[in-house]
């Protein structure tokens, strides 16, 4: 069932290794979040290095989307409630992590530093767009605000 040409026991549901039973969804989400945290921590130790940051953001996106996109599908279409509930937990966990990343002031400052770096010129247009889009997404969440303005923004979100 949904092993895409292989038995689920071998490949995992949706070909996700390790996804063989409902509790595996939250385990996969926790592993993805833990790995993403490590990647971002390493990237934050290289301020002003835009390519390092772009590669880190790409890796984090791939890790999280692999779990979250699969979980989103399963929570909407799987015939068994236990799978839908487990997938929902995974989506909530990944979404919560993404929300915290969007408010990470250290990452935000790394983005700003990278956009003002002398190395920016060595990036492709797509890489520059990644930096800009991530900074803007964080600003939409209010990461750049202070005091009451930030609190009001967070309350409205």
Whole-angstrom distance, CA of residue 13 vs CA of residue 22: 10
Strand stretches in 20-145, DSSP E: none
pLDDT of residue 58: 95
pLDDT of residue 2: 47
pLDDT in tens, the chain (157 residues): 444 445 555 677 888 888 999 999 999 999 999 999 999 999 887 766 899 999 999 999 999 999 999 999 999 999 999 999 999 999 999 999 999 999 999 999 999 999 998 999 999 999 999 999 999 999 998 898 888 887 787 777 7
CB 157 within 8 A of CB 142: yes
SS3 88: helix
CA distances from 69 to 48, 56, 57 (A): 31, 19, 17
CA distances from 73 to 9, 38, 84, 88, 138 (A): 19, 27, 9, 10, 26
pLDDT of residue 150: 78
Give the residue ranges of DSSP H helices in the chain: 8-11, 23-44, 50-77, 81-102, 105-115, 125-140, 147-156
């Amino acid at each position: 069932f949904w092993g895409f040409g292989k038995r689920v026991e071998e490949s995992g549901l949706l070909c996700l290794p390790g996804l063989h039973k409902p509790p595996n969804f939250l385990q996969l989400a926790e592993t993805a979040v833990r790995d993403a945290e490590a990647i971002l921590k390493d990237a934050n130790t290289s301020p002003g290095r835009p390519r390092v940051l772009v590669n880190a953001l790409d890796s984090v996106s791939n890790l999280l989307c692999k779990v979250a996109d699969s979980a989103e599908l399963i929570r909407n279409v799987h015939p068994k409630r236990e799978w839908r509930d487990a997938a929902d937990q995974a989506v909530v966990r990944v979404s919560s992590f993404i929300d915290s990343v969007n408010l990470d002031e250290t990452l935000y400052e790394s983005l700003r530093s990278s956009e003002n770096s002398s190395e920016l010129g060595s990036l492709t247009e797509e890489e520059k767009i990644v930096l800009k889009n991530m900074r803007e997404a964080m600003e939409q969440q209010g990461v750049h605000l202070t005091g009451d303005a930030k609190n009001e923004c967070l309350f409205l979100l």
